Structure 1
Amino acid sequence: MRNPLSKARAAEPSGQLSASVLPWVQVAPGAPYFVTDQGQSWTPIGQNDAVTWPDFAGLFRHRDLAAVDRHLAWLAAQGVTCLRFMLEYCQTENRYLERPAGHFQPNMVRLWDNLFALCAKHGLRLLLTPYDTFWMWRRWAHHPYNQGRGGPCRRRSQWLLCPATRQAIKNRLSFATERWGGSGVLFAWDLWNEIHPAHAGNDTAVFAEFIHDIGTHLRREEVRLHGRSHPQTVSLFGPVLGQHPGVSEVIFRHPQLDFASTHFYDKATIDNPRDTVTPAVCTGRLVREALTHLDSKRPFFDSEHGPIHLFKDRKRTLPEPFDDEYFRHMQWAHLASGGAGGGMRWPNRHPHVLTHGMRAAQRSLADFTALINWPEFRRRNLNAEIVLSTSAVAGFACGDKAQAVVWLLRQDRRDRQRLVPKNAPAVAVQVRVPGLGPGHYHVTCWDTREGQAVGQFTATPDAAGWLQLPVPPFVTDIALAVTRI
């Protein structure tokens, strides 16, 4: 196979990006969250995006860079910090990064140059994964990596096994980090999107070796080029864990990876939601399960979720008020259960963009995160350990000896649209949170819909470390930030 880097360099447009002024992001020393290399707390708040979707379609051939610029400015104003992108989204025939294999298309390189520059301008970061494995699988007959198209691989079931394909993956990552890896815009690498047994002859045995090989190669390249490396993860379609439990050792504990990420899809709740409460309860359960597999200092977050069955298979788009609440509930369940940020939605809407209500929910979450000292928060999940005075409310919580996050969601009522009713009588709840050390604690009560504090009080734990919180009456839901004074 010819050297793709030399051919790509020959085709490069001028104006290669220099290192961004944005500081790099890394895992916080000793805590399962993220900080910049300047020691500032950083939380991934965002969603999945693609260069063919409406918000970013203007990047292609410089059609409307001003529109993309305005959109990114607006995202930053809504508290968004991170966008998950695939370097190649191949639902169509005109967005291949390489065509033929080994030749990096100048127009796509320029597209990514522009996106990195615009993200740097607005302080946004990217979680990058090199391939869109979903459409690559479905449209394999057209893909440049197909041997029938002059590529390296005979069958899609050999992506992780074929030595020539393995080299092509390394070449793509080498090119990408040389071109854009010196920038703080790059948050982290998702080395392989939704790694799956079908990509390796229906066997999971190669997963660990594949991650070691690809991850080690990329880290060495980054250290050689930049003197340091970006964090790494590998994403997994969540239900695969139920079919292949041994995969958890790789996804959650592989020594090459810096943080863990899975995709929250659940057939009975998240994929085809019938109300806005049960998907949140499922999210809390999935976060708790993930944390049981992890080293306590390794961050975790859901990097893809949404009503995939309803949208993709049933061809339905959720009504906006329902989807906004479904989205908001899932992100708060994710954060309060111990995930980093609120998880990353796959839009699964028509048009394929997030609503303004979802952006308001992101703004609320972003403002709330300022109340917790994340680099010092050694959380454990407390969903099952907190004690509530009423079954009318579902509770989600995480905490350590000095801080806690609690989110309470009304679950006893639904209106005709299967939403939590906004005109129901307020409910009063007493919450007991375990595991807190001696001292006085400041508690901020947060209205997640309005995005503002609605009360503050102090509390002191008993001798056994139980902190009792007299929560002010609320109608739909409320979040609590608990910090030792």
Structure 2
Amino acid sequence: MLPISNVVHSPLSHVRAQRELPYFIEEDGAAWTPIGHNDAITWPELAPLFRRRDPASVERHLLWLKEHGVTVIRLMLEYCHGEHRYLERPVGRFVPNMVQFWDDLFRLLEKVGLRVLLTPYDTFFMWIRWRHHPYNRANGGMCARQSEWLISPEMRAAIKHRLAFASARWGNSPALFAWDIWNEIHPAHGGGDPASAAPFIEDVATWLRGYEKDRHGYANLQTVSVFGPELINHPSLSEAIFRHPALDFANTHLYESGTIDLPRDTVQPALAVARLMCIAVEEAGGRPVFDSEHGPIHSFKDKKRTLPVDFDDEYFRHIQWAHLASGGAGGGMRWPNRHPHVLTEGMRAAQRGLAEFLPLIDWPRFRRRNLSNELRCDDSGLALVGCGDEHQALIWTIRTDSLSTEGMVEPRQDARPLKLAVPGLQNGNYVVTTYDTVLGSIAARLQAVSTGGLLEVIVGPVRSSLAVSVREAEQNGGGAAKSQCGLRTLAP
């Protein structure tokens, strides 16, 4: 076995999830929000780190992400699209070049101040290219078929062995946000039986938690991701995904057919995200929930079409605000589905804009519920998405009546201010801040009063889209708040 690397820790601290708090915090109680994307060890921005071809370029890229509000990257320990990025080959022998890659990446993440959501297996290409994988019995592995992955005792032992190696080597790093212990868990991985998910989670997650507490005195957060449409095909999976007691937060992949996966405009996919996240928030109850994969997968993979940059930037921006306003933690994590496989500069600008908005909500005290079906305004050309509790609310509004022939929102120059009604807030005085999601800047600050559990305020006009924070005046009077990405301060 290779020696344990000597990772030099940065000021990062471990991320926690508290009972009945649907957002994440750091060890000192400060809010931490996942803003990020999916990347891969073979894709252009991280590939130069393999065999240390150009570590400096990867460090510069990570710093650029940090400057644009990114806090986390989702990665898989191996990427089986080809033959040269297996973590083990054969089973139980950890490939030195791959281990070196991860040693170096964790050092860089700690140095820069970013985190990783880490999943041990690339189950998509592992399934498609199973005949090549080292875990295939034909190659000296444990399983003859993919349908044995979740239920084979030998496979379970191999999974634990991989997680033990990874946790011993990198699990004590504060750059590790959480384990996604199984990517897109599926009944087909367990003999076609949806009931195979819960005992797999119980076994592996409980074992990993105990292993980490014994070794590190601390257990990293855990989740299991799911391909969202499978929750429709197999509703019984919801109990394991959203509420399994061995998991710390819930994770879905939003690939709804005909809207998110094949966008014809930039509004309907966002409203689909709002609808799906409303369901996810209700299912998850008081624990955090977010989408860790979304994007135009059908357009890209099956139709062989890369979306035009301007269209894709707007599609991305609308989705991230719908996700946040629905009660999700952060803006969701895009799978690039572009050629090359990287996010655009416009998407990074949108993430920076989201990060700048975050201090307008007191996340560690926000026990939100979804309000999208209860919000009201007097402009019929707008859709409203939001969440709130008795002390705060977050609303995102988007025009639905001004789409261009290309499916993008044409700003309504004739839009007028609107009356917005927000229910559920206790009586008292509030600060209402409107935020231009296109420019990424505050548009206005207003005073409002909630009476009889209803706050009404005149905002806007909304020419394309607008985010609104509503916060008790007493809580919002403490001076400037620092942005997560450290770009500037936002004072009430």
TM bin (shorter chain): over 0.9
The equivalent position to 2:454 in structure 1, one of 463, 466, 476, is 466
Does 2:124 match 1:125?
Answer: no
The normalised TM-score by structure 2 is: 0.95
Does 2:438 match 1:444?
Answer: no
Q: In 2, are the aligned partners of 1:21 and 1:183 still within 8 Å (CA)?
A: no
- Counterpart CA distance in 1 for 2:460 and 2:292 is 33
Does 2:255 match 1:265?
Answer: yes
Query: CA offset at residue 423 of structure 1?
Result: 5.8
The equivalent position to 2:289 in structure 1, one of 290, 300, 315, is 300
- For 1:481, the equivalent position in structure 2 comes to 469
Point out the more displaced range, 406-415 or 418-427.
Answer: 418-427
Query: What's the CA shift string for 1:372-392, capped at 9, x where partnerless?
Result: 110000000000011121220
- For 2:332, the equivalent position in structure 1 comes to 343
- For 1:386, the equivalent position in structure 2 comes to 375
The equivalent position to 2:442 in structure 1, one of 446, 453, 459, is 453
Tell me the C-alpha RMSD between the 2 structures: 1.1
Q: In 2, are the aligned partners of 1:18 and 1:182 still within 8 Å (CA)?
A: no
Structure 1 gap segments, 5+ residues each: 1-8
Paired residues for 1:394-405 under 5 Å: 394-405=383-394
Query: CA offset at residue 19 of structure 1?
Result: 4.8
- Counterpart CA distance in 2 for 1:192 and 1:84 is 13
Paired residues for 1:281-300 under 5 Å: 281-295=271-285, 297-300=286-289
The equivalent position to 1:35 in structure 2, one of 25, 36, 42, is 25
- For 1:215, the equivalent position in structure 2 comes to 205
Q: In 2, are the aligned partners of 1:119 and 1:125 still within 8 Å (CA)?
A: yes
- For 2:77, the equivalent position in structure 1 comes to 87
Query: What's the CA shift string for 1:383-410, capped at 9, x where partnerless?
Result: 0011121220000010000000000100
Paired residues for 1:86-485 under 5 Å: 86-295=76-285, 297-422=286-411, 424-463=413-452, 465-485=453-473
Which amino acid letter does the alignment assign opposite residue 432 of structure 1? A
Which amino acid letter does the alignment assign opposite residue 148 of structure 1? A
- Counterpart CA distance in 2 for 1:300 and 1:124 is 20
- For 1:6, the equivalent position in structure 2 comes to none
Query: CA offset at residue 22 of structure 1?
Result: 1.4
Query: CA offset at residue 427 of structure 1?
Result: 4.0
Q: In 2, are the aligned partners of 1:29 and 1:375 still within 8 Å (CA)?
A: no
- For 2:482, the equivalent position in structure 1 comes to none
Which amino acid letter does the alignment assign opposite residue 479 of structure 1? A
Q: In 2, are the aligned partners of 1:85 and 1:129 still within 8 Å (CA)?
A: yes
Q: Secondary structure at the match of 1:312?
A: helix
Query: CA offset at residue 256 of structure 1?
Result: 0.3
Query: CA offset at residue 16 of structure 1?
Result: 3.2
- Counterpart CA distance in 1 for 2:119 and 2:77 is 6
Which amino acid letter does the alignment assign opposite residue 302 of structure 1? D
Q: Secondary structure at the match of 2:29?
A: coil
Which amino acid letter does the alignment assign opposite residue 303 of structure 1? S
Q: In 1, are the aligned partners of 2:19 and 2:287 still within 8 Å (CA)?
A: no
- Counterpart CA distance in 2 for 1:249 and 1:242 is 13
Query: What's the CA shift string for 1:261-282, capped at 9, x where partnerless?
Result: 1000111200000000000100
Query: CA offset at residue 449 of structure 1?
Result: 1.0
Q: In 2, are the aligned partners of 1:26 and 1:35 still within 8 Å (CA)?
A: yes
Aligned pair count? 473
Query: CA offset at residue 425 of structure 1?
Result: 2.6
Query: CA offset at residue 254 of structure 1?
Result: 0.4
Q: Secondary structure at the match of 2:372?
A: coil
- Counterpart CA distance in 1 for 2:163 and 2:210 is 11
Q: In 1, are the aligned partners of 2:409 and 2:464 still within 8 Å (CA)?
A: yes
- Counterpart CA distance in 2 for 1:15 and 1:219 is 22
Q: Secondary structure at the match of 2:106?
A: helix
Point out the more displaced range, 312-321 or 150-159.
Answer: 150-159
- Counterpart CA distance in 2 for 1:326 and 1:432 is 27
Q: In 1, are the aligned partners of 2:8 and 2:107 still within 8 Å (CA)?
A: no
- For 2:481, the equivalent position in structure 1 comes to none
- For 1:78, the equivalent position in structure 2 comes to 68
Which amino acid letter does the alignment assign opposite residue 209 of structure 1? P
Query: CA offset at residue 160 of structure 1?
Result: 0.5
Query: CA offset at residue 451 of structure 1?
Result: 0.8
Q: In 2, are the aligned partners of 1:45 and 1:80 still within 8 Å (CA)?
A: yes
Q: In 1, are the aligned partners of 2:9 and 2:110 still within 8 Å (CA)?
A: no
Identity level (%): 56
Q: In 2, are the aligned partners of 1:389 and 1:430 still within 8 Å (CA)?
A: yes
Which amino acid letter does the alignment assign opposite residue 208 of structure 2? L
Point out the more displaced range, 413-422 or 207-216.
Answer: 413-422
Q: In 1, are the aligned partners of 2:402 and 2:412 still within 8 Å (CA)?
A: no
**Cα pair distance change 1:427/1:196, threshold 3 Å:** farther
- Counterpart CA distance in 2 for 1:99 and 1:243 is 35
Which amino acid letter does the alignment assign opposite residue 141 of structure 1? R
Q: Secondary structure at the match of 2:398?
A: strand
Q: In 2, are the aligned partners of 1:318 and 1:349 still within 8 Å (CA)?
A: yes
- Counterpart CA distance in 1 for 2:41 and 2:112 is 18
Query: CA offset at residue 108 of structure 1?
Result: 0.5
- Counterpart CA distance in 1 for 2:8 and 2:135 is 30
- Counterpart CA distance in 1 for 2:19 and 2:204 is 25
Q: In 2, are the aligned partners of 1:20 and 1:183 still within 8 Å (CA)?
A: no
**Cα pair distance change 1:339/1:47, threshold 3 Å:** same
Q: In 2, are the aligned partners of 1:386 and 1:432 still within 8 Å (CA)?
A: yes
- For 1:3, the equivalent position in structure 2 comes to none
Q: In 2, are the aligned partners of 1:231 and 1:257 still within 8 Å (CA)?
A: yes
Query: CA offset at residue 370 of structure 1?
Result: 1.1
Q: In 2, are the aligned partners of 1:20 and 1:182 still within 8 Å (CA)?
A: no
Q: Secondary structure at the match of 1:236?
A: strand
Which amino acid letter does the alignment assign opposite residue 216 of structure 2? H
